[in-house]
Structure 1
Amino acid sequence: MAKEPTSGTGSKSFSSNDNGFRTIERCHDMIQRSLRLPMVEFLREHLEKSGCYVGNNFIKAVNCEQKIAGGYLRGRGIIVCSNHMTFQDEVNQVVIHELIHAYDDCRAKNLDWKNCAHHACSEECIKRRVMQSLKCNPNCSGAAAKDAMDAVWDICYNDTKPFDRAP
């Protein structure tokens, strides 16, 4: 997992900053739009069915110091890094991706985000993206990240829960 980003404030009078990225307020609006997507509704429903409440404040827009798009923080929810978002589709993809992490964390009560194999297994992406995500985890060096991904790939790649098949 990435280090927790710092939250900041944005200007309500502008929709983006000087770099073209979204303010916290604009990103919050984009998150609200993403909550209406069928895939997001599906994931939230399955989180609740698994016993994990997803309230209105579960997904937050923040400014992030690290160069990450967002993250899932156990017990705190999902953050979307407004200062790294430009388009609605980027926000949609981050929300979906992090909801899958939240679902995995909910159903696997012993998931240890410091364990590179556990982290790798929660990634729903192709190997290149798994490696990118693991590199953000300070507990996973280059060799440990690759070893962890290789060790769990076959089992985890075929785990499509909560979906019946790979979306």
Structure 2
Amino acid sequence: MSHPTSQPPEENVSQLTLSPASELSGFEWWRRTLSYQTGLGFTAQDRAQYVYDYQNRNLEEKCQSCNENLEWVLKYSPSVIFMMNHIRKLNKDNEPIDPQFIKCATCDFTKGGGFDPNSGILLCSNWIRSKWQLEDILTHELVHVYDYMKFNLNYNNLRHHACTEIRASMLSGECRIWAEIKKTGLGNFGKKFQDCVRRRAVISVSANPACRNTKEAESVVDIVWRSCFNDTRPFERVYR
């Protein structure tokens, strides 16, 4: 079973009526991108339309960019290299990870990536907007690989799923405080990191077919929160 886990910007595209991806001029696309990033003059409908258009625009170019960025982060990203090295240590056969284990592809689900024990890591090129986002998403998925190999991770067990999601969002850099401030403002500053990790874990567990509803996902995340949030392996500490 495939488990898409890494989440792109959290707009709910599926609940809105959207037009097909438009053939915008370069200037208009730039203007809308700037508005999207700053939030100025953007309604919820505008934001969802932009995300939908982005997902379906220049797919071949995005796939090529994803592969180029993947090659770069595998060579130079400290977090990716660190995780890859620790995964290799867990490999009893001491063999390098096959490059085909990590793939860029166009995805038909609204996630940045996913990990399947049989198929490997999928990076969704139509959702990934930059080299740095790809780095965070890949680190997130590599935490899942590490957990699967070290702890016999079972996604049908919601506590297992919640724990690995908490750890992956915490260790990947996806919940950096400054990114959360940009999204949610300065309020509740001291808990922004924890709130982001918890929110992302609940979203992912809620999508598990074994989970009945969001309330159950929240309950499971609460049960495992303390032990999993404090488990930073294989990192010594978390930089927020």
- TM-score normalized by the length of structure 2: 0.59
Answering whether residue 51 of structure 2 is matched by residue 51 of structure 1, we say: no
Q: Is the 8 A contact 1:20 1:86 kept in 2?
A: no
Which one of 18, 26, 30 corresponds to residue 65 of structure 2? Answer: 26
Per-residue deviation, 1:77: 1.2
SS of equivalent residue, structure 1 residue 80: strand
Which one of 122, 132, 137 corresponds to residue 208 of structure 2? Answer: 137
User: C-alpha deviations, 1:112-164, integer Å up to 9, x for none?
Assistant: 11221111100223111111222332222212211110110001111111111
**Where does residue 148 of structure 1 map in the other structure?**
220
Distance between the aligned counterparts of 2:107 and 2:159, measured in 1? 26
**Where does residue 78 of structure 2 map in the other structure?**
38
**Where does residue 238 of structure 2 map in the other structure?**
166
Per-residue deviation, 1:83: 1.0
Distance between the aligned counterparts of 2:107 and 2:63, measured in 1? 11
Answering whether residue 163 of structure 2 is matched by residue 121 of structure 1, we say: yes
Whichever residue aligns with residue 133 of structure 1, its letter is S
Distance between the aligned counterparts of 1:116 and 1:96, measured in 2? 22
Answering whether residue 108 of structure 2 is matched by residue 65 of structure 1, we say: yes
Change (3 A) 1:17 1:65: closer
Stretch of structure 1 that moved more, 132-141 or 143-152: 132-141
Q: Is the 8 A contact 1:39 1:96 kept in 2?
A: yes
Per-residue deviation, 1:85: 1.3
* Higher RCO structure (Cα 8 Å, ≥6 apart): 1
Change (3 A) 1:99 1:77: same
Distance between the aligned counterparts of 2:107 and 2:227, measured in 1? 33
Aligned residues: 154
User: C-alpha deviations, 1:61-120, integer Å up to 9, x for none?
Assistant: 0111110100111132111001111211111111011001110111012x2112211111
Per-residue deviation, 1:33: 1.1
Identical amino acids, percent of aligned pairs: 31
Q: Per residue, is there more helix in 1 or in 2?
A: 2
